[in-house]
């Protein structure tokens, strides 16, 4: 299957390794990945700030950059929501865009990881931060199309359980609002997904919110980090680099014993060389 990769501004400018990991994952699943070089921002920053006149030409450029015949895969729930929900609000056609985990589970039917070959296995405990877009949409089944009714028939997962071959297995409900990103993490051999207090709390980033309300934004983020450290993990995982960039900035400033990773990086790390 041919797919287009939309990298997002933050990955393009700061986290190229997330884009590389996303491409490796898709290729491991048998996809041919195309990367239109003319792509820019999706237009979400001016859209969220209410400047829709500025957002509209950016959105038109994005629509003209990508091949309409190919699904657009985005390693970000936030940018995917902009493409699918924001563009119609601007009076534009919504492209066929999918957040990476949604595409892997609901469209490719991924229920084990990796799909083939010997993988690198190491024990690790991580906590997952649900970005606001993915949390809301996973719980409600709105917007991204991440519906509780799974088209692949894959049941809800329980964290930290693996079969005798080291592949993750499914069991009872771990929690009612699990996201497809968390379901993918539980498929990684050796990985334990740890729950923590105030898991539904926003990280405080909020795009323009962090720029206009810096003190409040930092306070929300620090409360999130306190809960994560209390859970005894050293790695915070998410699917939106905006959230992770905000948290990593606070981690660096306060010299906390935590690090951040996109879930695509963890999936790619265990792929056969």
Answer whether residue 146 shows pLDDT above 60.
no
* Per-residue pLDDT, 139: 55
**Where does the pLDDT of residue 110 fall: very low under 50, low under 70, confident under 90, or very high at 90 and above?**
very high
**Where does the pLDDT of residue 174 fall: very low under 50, low under 70, confident under 90, or very high at 90 and above?**
very low
SS (H, E, C) the chain: CEEEECCCHHHHHCCHHHHHHHHHHHHHCCCEEECCCCCCCCCHHHHHCCCHHHHHHHHHHHHHHCCCCCCEEECCHHHHHHHHHHHHHCCCCCCCEEEHHHHHHHHCCCCCCCCCCCCCCCCEEEEECCCHHHHHHHHHCCCCCCCCCCCCCCCCCCCCCECCCCCECCCCCCCCCCCHHHHHHCCCCCEEEECCCCCCCCCCCCCHHHHHCHHHHHHHHHHHHHHHHHCCCCEEEECCHHHHHHHHHHHHHHCCCCEEEEHHHHHHHCCCC
* Per-residue pLDDT, 179: 83
Residues 5-15: tens digit of each pLDDT: 999 999 999 99
Average pLDDT of 132-142?
63
Residues 181-200: tens digit of each pLDDT: 999 999 999 999 999 998 88
Answer whether residue 176 shows pLDDT above 50.
no
Answer whether residue 143 shows pLDDT above 60.
no
Average pLDDT of 203-229?
92
* Per-residue pLDDT, 171: 32
Answer whether residue 80 shows pLDDT above 50.
yes
d(CA 106, CA 80) in angstroms, rounded, equals 15
* Per-residue pLDDT, 206: 84
Answer whether residue 140 shows pLDDT above 70.
no
* Per-residue pLDDT, 104: 97
Answer whether residue 227 shows pLDDT above 50.
yes
* Per-residue pLDDT, 138: 62
Average pLDDT of 131-155?
50
How close are the terminal C-alpha atoms of the chain, in Å?
22
Answer whether residue 177 shows pLDDT above 80.
no
**Where does the pLDDT of residue 137 fall: very low under 50, low under 70, confident under 90, or very high at 90 and above?**
low
Average pLDDT of 10-32?
96
**Where does the pLDDT of residue 168 fall: very low under 50, low under 70, confident under 90, or very high at 90 and above?**
very low
Residues 237-259: tens digit of each pLDDT: 999 999 999 999 999 999 999 99
Answer whether residue 150 shows pLDDT above 80.
no
Average pLDDT of 150-162?
31
């Amino acid at each position: 299957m041919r797919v287009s990769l939309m990298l997002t501004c933050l990955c393009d400018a700061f986290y190229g390794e997330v884009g590389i990991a996303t491409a490796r994952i898709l290729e491991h699943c048998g996809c041919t990945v195309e990367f239109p070089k003319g792509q820019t921002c999706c237009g979400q920053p001016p859209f969220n700030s209410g400047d829709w006149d500025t957002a509209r030409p950016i959105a038109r450029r994005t629509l003209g950059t990508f091949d309409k015949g190919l699904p657009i895969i985005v390693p970000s729930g936030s940018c995917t929501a902009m493409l699918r929900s924001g563009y119609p609000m601007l009076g534009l056609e919504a492209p066929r865009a999918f957040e990476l985990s949604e595409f892997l589970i609901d469209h490719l039917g991924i229920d084990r990881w990796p799909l083939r070959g010997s993988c690198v296995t190491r024990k690790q405990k991580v906590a997952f931060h649900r970005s606001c877009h993915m949390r809301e949409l996973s719980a409600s089944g709105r917007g991204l199309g991440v519906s509780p009714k799974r088209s692949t028939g894959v049941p809800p997962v329980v964290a930290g359980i693996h079969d005798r071959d080291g592949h993750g297995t499914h069991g009872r409900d771990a929690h009612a609002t699990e996201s497809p990103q968390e379901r993918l993490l539980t498929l990684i051999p050796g990985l334990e997904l740890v729950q923590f207090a105030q898991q539904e709390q926003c990280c405080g980033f909020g795009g323009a919110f962090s720029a206009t309300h810096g003190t409040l934004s930092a306070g929300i983020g620090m409360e999130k980090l306190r809960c994560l450290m209390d859970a005894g993990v050293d790695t915070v995982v998410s699917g939106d680099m905006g959230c992770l960039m905000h948290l990593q900035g606070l981690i660096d400033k306060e010299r906390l014993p935590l690090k951040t990773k996109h879930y695509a990086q963890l999936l790619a790390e265990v792929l056969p060389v």
